Structure 1
């Protein structure tokens, strides 16, 4: 029997944002003899209370939590804290005000794992007597789980050393130690059997080569232990979409192979899209930092003109397809065909290099300007300068076609300097009555490696007499994190000239508010992926609202990209977003708008939305 009095000294966290409810729950607990009570008004406060007890989980009793607690992803929290199989488990008592028996946190996945998850849901009309019974029951279950875990540890330690070592070696011969998946050798051995069996039958099948984008940055920023935990969580996520007997292997640090037997090309693409979408929606938390993860997937199939005789051929093709996906921007699928090889890419680059050099020499690059609008007043705050290239027959070439080549082939520095000089010359050419016009200029990810950038800006400003405050330089969040020290140093020097800075695509990379806190920027541009589905996606709404609040408290203005509809404008105004940018306000054009303002109320009252609000 468990001595209930011995459990009453455990820490109980009351996670309730409604003061009266928190006060009543605390009073009921204290009257029942529970004195070690901590309060948390939002999700982040729960982690603040738990952090000092990371190595002493037995001192934490349980969490009583309101299902609607702000800044809290309750499903993820329940999975990570109450669904462990060791002695560190923390039970949850979830209070719901919904009439439905199925609360939002209690999804199918969580319900099916109740045998190991200590989560107890109580509806809106619960009594404090029922609450105290639930607390006593959950504490008792935690204690029993802790004792069972200790007993299991003791039994394992009593096994003979030779038997343990032998068993582990036998397992590691065919499995990856960290994830429990097949290792490369065993994967290829089993795949060889499948290929041999299907020689005469011409059976269908596809291999998915999965690579985590920029995984090395997680190891560099957070350490290998956090990186390992991310790998394990992603493997668990992917397993939900495949059958239990699927051929799934880890063949590299962050590289995985998944063979889909008896699947057509179309079916394989569908399965890969499901996996990629699930990873896009996944958020990885470590401490106070949230990481948004993406993957690149290469697909090779057995249904090809040339027969595949060895597993390495199939893996190589899928890997080449994956590399192509990563080279084309990451976070995408790529189906292998005979033309998607490195030689073809190099030929493609060789084709573009002379065109880019010719455009630089013969003035075939030009800028277009898209307005950025103050959402409260409708005033045009400034314009973003966007690069284009002239093609044959007066066609316009998007930067997505030539900028990646320029980055790979070392021409991007020339383009950066050209954009800076052209933008400043444009401001200098404006008449006196347009001296209020200012520009935002995009800098490439490698701009801070260019020693000529700072003197070019300084000298050009001195020659043209353009006020430095009319220039805002934009750098993406990912590029800033990759070159953090150099970026911060260069930004400080450029800001010392009087220019401003914006952190572009914020939230698309690694969502690190630590960097935002210490980064000397004036604007934060919220990535368009959070804006496009803002009206229908509650997760995007929570994230955008959080970004706006944090940026405002840090004294930084916020800009929303990809604004497409009147409803989005209204929602952004509610969240306190300062500026908006998108086709609804104006397309990128070679000429500036004649008006200095846009009627926000007229836009909001429009019956329909405009087409795609992309801004690039």
Structure 2
């Protein structure tokens, strides 16, 4: 509406048209603009290629707009009807104006004139190419004027030099400066042509030819800037894709590494401490193998959505499948890192429970470093994995918290050293230490002559010091070595039993099994093969389940227990009454022996509660024909 009034008063008071002509001219121009917008929308919907839309949108719209304005000018000025040169000059001038100025105006409308001006100012202050380009532009204008003045050319062939200037602007200058420079240069160029033409006597043919050349230059310049901008946008898009995880939209490991390198410094020049929150989903690979990529992808997508809702996605990175790292400054954190991690943990587990069966029982490890200082992504990832493993292993501390990375990385190095030693020992390399077995007597007070033993695993280092399982078994559990260790213990125990002179007199040998071994589909086959090769009687062997992880997958555990019993071996549940062990296990698994945890037996003569617990366990075991120990 404002544009309509401006055009109306311009035609009425400055152009000298009548009231009706001014009104109709203004309305016609506004309608032409509306028609132009509709035509542009039609092109956007018709041309499928984004590159084609950018390339053809402005030139085509400018030509249509110039044609409409020219038709309006002929209607307002009847004397132009037979003056084809004037019509041509007017059409060319309008086309040049729209071609040169439309991209600049669109940029200002899209980003704001203030911001566009500030960016232009900043670019002018730091670009060396601006001065070079200005020098070339001024030189070409001088050459054009000199050729027209002294060359006495009917057609200003020197204007072709201006094409070089426009090409340089499109390719050498920043896009915003290129648009501004092209528009400004074409305006100055037009003024030069018109002024020189008037000085040498008005020649409409020469001016029309110059206008045609300027039009071609403007068209090429606009197309060139659009092509260069499309190329630069493609480069930026590719560079961004290298730093963004395609699944979650968060930063990937390269993005986090780049962010660490650019982490702010303090006044002394040292790296500012950062608060790191690590999340690890160790069971993601199992979901991927059992239920497919789609299910595991949904788990990680849900986690990234939670981070976005908590307004933490800008600080989060997915460095590998199932591993997320958040790096924040103390200024960003509104609460302690442990509180944020605990809030995230509760929210994530709540959301996972609403998903399918694959994610319902997932667990994620959380760790927090309050004063982390490192630019090494490898060290940071190792520390996060170590902290998350500790949080999953410690049921009393759901979020593992450290002040810095040093102590945890030192602990990580020690763990990796242990892993190397144990792997070497399993293949027979005992230079750094070895597994050794002890036999602990199990004595039945009712039958003292019966020989029964429990196999105990220990570690003997290079100095022949004997270490308890608490030193190395937790590490073996975290790094997936328990199945290999259990098989080694079973194989060695059966071999020694087969070679024992009291082999026929030994009634029972108890061998521990971990929950990881119960999940191994080859376990029953291995037990059967070892029994055949050693010649030991199956009824002599009793397998004890000591790892509470068996409870997490009762289906696999039940299949393993039934398979062991079918071979003729016995099965025992160790440390009943602690951890996750409940009476429901006695119902699901038909154990032959039930070892009550010493916590309830130690003070049974003094505590009525302990005595009542033991009596209840004994009563249920009696009904299930299970022997208690």
- The two structures share one fold, judged by TM-score above 0.5: no
Q: Highest relative contact order (Cα 8 Å, sep 6+), 1 or 2?
A: 1
Structure 1 or 2: larger strand share? 1
| TM value normalised by structure 2 | 0.41
